[in-house]
């Protein structure tokens, strides 16, 4: 039995593999050792950044709702943008102008610093906020495969007025990880210069609900669009707080845990991973 089949047969969690649309293309050619190391390093770095920005927005929203019940009914709010600075994350909620309505400062672990700032009058955006808001607005107009009614977005700076906008499917189901339909848009000069989807179908992975006393070993997905796992795989593993196994080809399997990627080299390594030791 191949390493891939062994994982598929023995993972304790009800794992999901890609739909037919994901398995149609031939695997991409393998990378050199140096290019593989660079690809893995980038996936870890960017995946963790996406997660931290997304966590800041999620926890900031929880804090605003807790402190200001009127926030839920504030129809002026059109979204949010996040900015990393001085070891913290600033979350700014904006209107259609765009202008800032609320601000919150968050630690990397999602803890609110001080109190939520409720602006008496909408405030002009900083240069960074204006650039991020424009990139987000442009990305949200793109015609992409949608796998959820609602999408979250994370905007990351790329330098020189360039931005990477990640569109991430939303869900309210505690046991669903909506990997399918995740997209990246590259923005420069007020235009979408490149875009990509990370799946070819609306694949969803499963995880045990937090309330259940189930030992979760990991999720698994077949991914043939890249020779290594991507930043989106790292993000969703962190988001689900669950290890993820990514098969990028026959006997090419990677384990993502706590934002780090390592290749599962042999059957002994698989057995160790599955036992949780």
Q: State yes or no: pLDDT of 9 exceeds 60.
A: no
Instruction: Report in angstroms the alpha-carbon separations of 173 from 71, 139, 170, 220, 264.
Output: 23, 25, 9, 19, 30
Q: Would you state the pLDDT for residue 108?
A: 97
Query: Is the pTM higher than 0.75?
Result: yes
- Specify the 3-state DSSP secondary structure of 253: strand
| Top-confidence residue, 224 or 10 | 224
Let me know how many helices (H) and strands (E) the chain has, helices first. 6, 14
DSSP string, 77-117: --EEEEEEETTEEEEEEE-SS--EEEEEEE-TTSPEEEEEE
* Domain span including residue 72: 3-275
Beta-carbon contacts of residue 221 (< 8 Å; ≥ 6 apart): 16, 17, 18, 179, 203, 205, 233, 244, 245, 246, 247
- Two tokens at 171? 């869900």
Q: Give helix 231-240 / helix 33-67 axis angle, nearest 10°.
A: 40
pLDDT (tens digit per residue) in 228-249:
999 999 999 999 999 999 999 8
- Give the mean model confidence (pLDDT) for residues 163-187: 95
DSSP state at residue 25? S
Sign of CA dihedral 148, 209, 226, 202: negative
Q: Would you state the pLDDT for residue 150?
A: 93
Task: Quote the CA–CA distance of 229 and 240 in Å, as a whole number.
Answer: 16
pLDDT above 90 as % of the chain: 75
Sign of CA dihedral 107, 262, 256, 139: positive
φ/ψ of residue 145, rounded to 5: -65, 115
Q: What domain count does the chain have? A: 1
- Give the mean model confidence (pLDDT) for residues 121-126: 97
Residue 4: pLDDT band by 50, 70, 90 thresholds?
very low
Q: Would you state the pLDDT for residue 16?
A: 39
């Amino acid at each position: 039995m191949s390493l891939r089949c062994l994982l598929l047969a023995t993972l304790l969690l009800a794992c999901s593999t890609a739909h037919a649309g994901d398995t149609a293309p031939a695997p991409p050619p393998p990378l050199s050792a140096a290019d593989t190391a660079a690809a893995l390093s980038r996936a870890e770095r960017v995946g963790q950044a996406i997660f931290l920005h997304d966590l800041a927005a999620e926890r900031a929203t929880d804090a605003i709702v807790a402190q200001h019940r009127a926030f839920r009914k504030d129809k002026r709010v059109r979204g949010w943008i996040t900015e990393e600075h001085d070891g913290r994350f600033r979350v700014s909620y904006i209107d259609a102008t765009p202008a800032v309505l609320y601000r919150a400062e968050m630690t990397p672990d999602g803890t609110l610093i001080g109190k939520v700032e409720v602006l008496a009058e909408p405030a002009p955006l900083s240069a960074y906020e204006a650039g991020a808001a424009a990139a987000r607005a442009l990305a949200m107009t793109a015609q992409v495969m949608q796998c959820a009614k609602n999408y979250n977005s994370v905007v990351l700076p790329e330098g020189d007025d360039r931005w990477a906008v990640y569109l991430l499917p939303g869900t309210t189901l505690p046991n669903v990880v909506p990997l399918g339909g995740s997209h990246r848009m590259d923005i420069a000069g007020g235009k979408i210069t490149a875009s990509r989807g990370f799946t070819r179908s609306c694949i969803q992975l499963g995880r045990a609900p937090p309330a259940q006393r189930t030992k979760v070993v990991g999720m698994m997905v077949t991914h043939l669009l890249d020779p290594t796992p991507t930043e989106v795989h790292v993000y969703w593993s962190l988001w689900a707080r669950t290890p993820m196994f990514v098969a990028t080809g026959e006997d090419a399997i990677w384990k993502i845990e706590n934002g780090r990627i390592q290749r599962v080299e042999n059957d002994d390594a698989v057995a160790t991973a599955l036992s949780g030791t």
